[in-house]
Chain A
Amino acid sequence: MSGFAVILQILFNGIMLGIQYSMIAVGFTLFRGVLNVLNFSHGDVFMVGAFVSMTLIGAFGVMSATGFTYIGMIIIIFLLSMLIVGIIGVVFERLAVKPVSKGPVTMSLLATLGLGIAIREAVRLFYPRGGESKKFPELFHKLFEGTKGAFEFSGVIFRYENILFLIIGVVVVLVLAFFINKTKMGLAIRAVAQDGECALMMGVNKDLIIDVTFLIGSALAALAAILYGLYYNTVVFDMGALMGVIGLSAAVVGGLGNIYGAIIGGFVFSLTEALSAAFIPRGSEFMDVVAFAVVILFLIFRPSGILGEKVFERV
């Protein structure tokens, strides 16, 4: 295995993380658009997604199913956990996020941080044995049964399921882009994001739009959580804390308020991590530190991000 292959392998792993980061970052960007809130509880909604899908997989008995029922169940589980988590996201929005969004921005940021901690601890306390790290079932195991589960290309291992994740990621981005750009609901979301009051005046049901946005954002977080669970095979109650900060950082790097920016930001963040792990001595330990340093630099020198528009200070 050559040095080049090592770097290639690390980059490929970075891309796998990038998919998950992007999906969370999109949520941050959407929420920020319609409510002017940096919703920190989003990372913990992501964690809830992992636990919901894990519970569903257990309840459905997917692991013992075969054939078409097996594939059908996987699809149902994906959709059902996205729906459930989406609704959970809307409930949190109604109860806590929207009420604080009217106050000063720093206060709402603080409130969502507090909400995130409450969600995290609630899972730890009330999910059976919630404090321990949980084994996430290998859902796609049977799809590739009989094969080696991976192919090797000049020393680099490409696992089939990882390639499947990549495909899922691309499909989701395309669907989302279609939804936001081509449908009426998408237009309404963009309208509310641009000017809430004006949209209200034009007959857009703003509260509904906010709900829909949180539904979509949280559902994406649930999808990211399933991919995370399948990728790492373990989930734990506090995994959302760092993921939330990473997702927000990715959104900021890409430019808050821009969906494509969020996606690009996710990959920028993950590749920064991967490259610093590969090239800096003892980099794998300091990769998060480097990534956060990059975010801070962005916040200072280009707060509008890679794709964002110029931000004007409102007085």
Chain B
Amino acid sequence: MKKSSFFDKFIIALVELIVYFYLMIFFRIESVWILIITILLLVVIFYLSKKYKKTFDYITNIFNKNSKFATFFIVILLILFPFVSKLIVPLYIYWLLITIQTFIFSIVALGLNFQAGTTGVMNLSSAAFYGVGAYTAGYLALHYKLPAILTIPIGGIAASIFGLLLFIPIFRTRGQYFALITLAFGYMFVLSLNNLDFVGGPQGLKNVPPINLFGYNFQKAPFGTHFYVNYYYFVLIILFITLFVFQRLYNSWIGLTLNYIRDDEPAAKGCGVSTNIWKLMTLLIGNFFMGVGGAIYAHMIGFISPPNFTLTISLLIISIVLLGGSDNIIGVLVGAFILVLVPEKLRVITEYRVMLYGLLIVLILIFRPKGLIPFKERKYHESIAKES
């Protein structure tokens, strides 16, 4: 075991480097062909994985054994991303921005995944909570000159508190009726935003100040790069925190309880689980992260308006969760990558993007209702795992 460990790590690093540089090429080449080639490549890899199953299993096994090293190496690669991409990709600023947006949507989708995936609370107004965070942060920063270190968590808390408005519905309804309520709620939110003057109506909030952390202005470009690099690292850190929190929650007894509620609510109730309280809890926790995502977005882009938070955006977030595989943290990241980052490559087809979202949701639900990476059955003990 120990003898091969260095070699294993070498292979892991190699695989990750290839993916990493392939991504760079993907960013660099300004043509739709790269996307087609990528899809073909994925198909070939899928085919090979079936044919040479042994070797493939060997590699996945290496990853499973050295998961810590694999994560560590990915983190290093991600940290180096702005600098490496600057050397290779001519439009790196743009792709940096898109990557940041992918991360923000990952944070928001992780929040929704906790509600819809883990607990089965189908929240169709995630964009509204994302919007509450954005508007709260933007408003406080604009009118009360609060620093971002305060506005971002306050944005999250505001989204949570706003979620409390739904506490009666969550106590009294469930399933599709609750989904309907959240849907109407999302509509009400956007309609109100359009009509409320103090948040700018259809004009939205503009000139939201950039993040200023302990006197360091994010508008400055560090090391001759670009100011988006600051946001990149900031969002990366928040994303890691979010991942850590949800990973811990999922693996704890809380995650188990919530899964129980999702799978069979009356039974859970029968076992003494206070389902309503737990559902409310997931709503609060999930909303907090959505709000944080929104707050960061408001500070970074500097402009927010009602169209940022409509049902279409809610559906985008839901399709991120569904595509990757609900109740699966890695799946959510994959979903965000496919739905936020990849379509940017299709500049020619950007027009068709929303339609593709719609079709994708239908197709996934018909043909692969569990997503690309379905969640695995929980394994509690090595011996049980081996038996099955």
Contacts and interface: CB of A to CB of B under 8 A. Distances in A.
User: A and B touching (C-beta < 8 Å)?
Assistant: yes
Interface of A: 38, 96, 99-100, 103-111, 113-122, 125, 241-242, 245, 248-249, 252, 282, 285-286, 288-289, 292-293, 295-296, 299-301, 303, 315
Given A286-B195, A299-B177, A103 B311 contact: no
A295 B184 CA distance: 8
Contacts of B385: none
B268 interface: no
Contacts of B359: 114, 118
B366 A99 contact: yes
Interface of B: 122, 124, 168-169, 172-173, 175-177, 179-181, 183-185, 187-188, 191-192, 194-195, 266, 311-312, 315, 318-319, 322, 351-352, 354-355, 357-362, 365-366, 369
Q: What are the nearest 9 A-B pairs in CB distance?
A: A114-B361, A118-B358, A117-B358, A121-B355, A285-B195, A106-B122, A111-B365, A105-B176, A292-B184
A115 to B, nearest CB: 5
B176 A118 contact: no
A117 B351 CA distance: 13
B365 A125 contact: no
Contacts of B319: 114
Contact of B187 (A111, A118, A252, A288): A288
Contacts of B311: 113, 241
A165 B322 CA distance: 43
A299 B176 CA distance: 11
The DSSP consensus for interface residues of chain B is: helix
Contact of A242 (B185, B187, B315): B187
B176 A38 contact: yes
A15 to B, nearest CB: 23
8 contacts: A38-B180, A100-B365, A113-B361, A116-B358, A117-B361, A245-B183, A289-B188, A303-B177
Nearest to A282: B195
A120 B195 CA distance: 25
A99 B352 CA distance: 24
A111 B362 contact: yes
A292 B188 CA distance: 7
Interface-centre pick from A106, A107, A115, A295 (highest chain B CB count, 10 A): A106
Contacts of A122: 355
Contact of A117 (B168, B187, B354): B354
B357 A114 contact: yes
A245 B357 contact: no
Contact of B173 (A109, A114, A115, A303): A303
A105 B175 CA distance: 7
Given A106-B122, A296-B181, A117 B312 contact: yes
